[in-house]
């Protein structure tokens, strides 16, 4: 991996990295295609990162489809699929962690306290291994995107973080590798996430700037679906992710909702 990147750098090619956990879908492909358009050498990492999963989460059953993923990457001109093992990334004696305070303490951080430490550590390692000039992240994992941007800024990492918009199914469901866990009834019920966000956008467009009223509107819609259970609904500042009294500046609605036993996240920017 490092030798291939060294050669690409010698040739003056811009290196683009798309970090994934595999089970690629059209959302990932949008990231890859953007990297392909903008960079001369594209690396896609496929690594189900154990350190970002908490106890009783779905690390064991997370879909692993490396052969299929590699074929998808080959079709769109990816130069390298980097698929290390857990032992490669975390050898015996590994004990170095990258932790970002503040942004990681709220929302997902409250429900998954060790999650972001795993995310930032593995991304820092991937940035170092790939020597990426640009790294592409989807806005669906909005809090993750902001945490990675903060890490890169604060630690002066020489990589440009490129956000890419959410890709949705025709009916509005945000694409996710975890969607395959849903039964047909749960798949239908999961549409309540995008519908509640549409309610929020409509209310905001009509002039509503009170976060509590927008949040109440969303919760009412989600609670009307029997298969849905809310972990959190947050209407917060789009940069700091802190609560605000009014949406005078750009805001973001962040959702985490269990549909049956499957936990889904989604979001929408209000600006």
Q: Are residues 183 and 247 in the same domain?
A: yes
Structure tokens at 199: 């309610």
257 and 125 within one domain:
no
158 and 240 housed in the same domain = no
Number of structural domains in the chain: 2
Query: Residue 177 gets which letter from DSSP?
Result: G
| 142 token code pair | 């909005």
In a domain, 228, yes or no: yes
Residues 8 and 120 in one domain: yes
Domain match, 95 and 25 both? yes
Predicted pLDDT of residue 72 = 98
User: Token digits for 56?
Assistant: 């009783």
Asked if 207 and 110 sit in the same domain, the reply is no
CA angle 204, 210, 216 (to 5 degrees): 85
Does 118 share its domain with 203?
A: no
Half-sphere exposure of 25 (CA within 13 A, CB side): 15
What is the pLDDT, as a whole number, of residue 43?
98
Q: Range of 33's domain?
A: 2-164
Dihedral sign (CA 75, 26, 52, 6): positive
Residue 90 belongs to domain with CATH number: 3.40.50.620
Q: Give me the tens of pLDDT residue by residue for the chain, a chain 271 residues long.
A: 999 999 999 999 999 999 999 999 999 999 999 999 999 999 999 999 999 999 989 999 999 999 999 999 999 999 999 999 999 999 999 999 999 999 999 999 999 999 999 999 999 999 999 999 999 999 999 999 999 999 999 999 999 999 999 999 999 999 999 999 999 999 999 999 999 999 999 999 999 999 999 999 999 999 999 999 999 999 999 999 999 999 999 999 999 999 999 999 999 999 9
Residues 34 and 80 in one domain: yes
Do the domain assignments include residue 170?
Answer: no
Neighbours of 199 (CB within 10 A): 17
The last residue of a domain, from among 111, 138, 164: 164
135-171 pLDDT, tens per residue?
999 999 999 999 999 999 999 999 999 999 999 999 9
Active site includes 115? no
| Assigned domain for 24 exists | yes
């Amino acid at each position: 991996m490092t030798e291939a990147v060294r050669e690409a750098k010698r040739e003056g090619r811009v290196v683009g990295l798309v970090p994934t956990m595999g089970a690629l879908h059209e959302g990932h492909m949008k990231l890859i295609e953007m990297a392909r358009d903008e960079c001369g050498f594209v690396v896609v990492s496929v690594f189900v990162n154990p350190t970002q999963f908490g106890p009783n989460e779905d690390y064991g059953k997370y879909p692993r489809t490396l052969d299929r993923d590699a074929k998808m990457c080959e079709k769109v001109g990816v130069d390298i699929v980097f698929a290390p093992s857990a032992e490669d990334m975390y050898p015996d004696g590994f004990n170095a962690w990258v932790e970002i305070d503040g942004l990681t303490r709220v929302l997902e951080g409250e429900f998954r306290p060790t999650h972001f430490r795993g995310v930032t550590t593995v991304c820092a390692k991937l940035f170092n291994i790939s020597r990426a000039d640009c790294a592409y992240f989807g806005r669906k994992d909005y809090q993750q995107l902001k945490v990675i941007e903060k890490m890169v800024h604060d630690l002066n990492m020489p990589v440009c973080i490129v956000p890419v918009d959410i890709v949705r199914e025709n009916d509005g469901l945000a694409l996710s590798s975890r969607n395959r866990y849903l039964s047909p009834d749960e798949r239908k019920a999961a549409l309540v996430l995008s519908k509640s966000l549409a309610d929020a956008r409509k209310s905001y467009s009509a002039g509503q700037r009170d976060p509590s009223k927008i949040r109440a509107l969303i919760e009412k819609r989600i609670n009307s679906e029997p298969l849905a259970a809310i972990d959190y609904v947050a209407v917060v500042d789009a940069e700091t992710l802190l609560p605000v009294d009014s949406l005078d500046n750009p805001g973001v609605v962040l959702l985490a909702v269990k549909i049956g036993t499957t936990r889904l996240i989604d979001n929408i920017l209000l600006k």
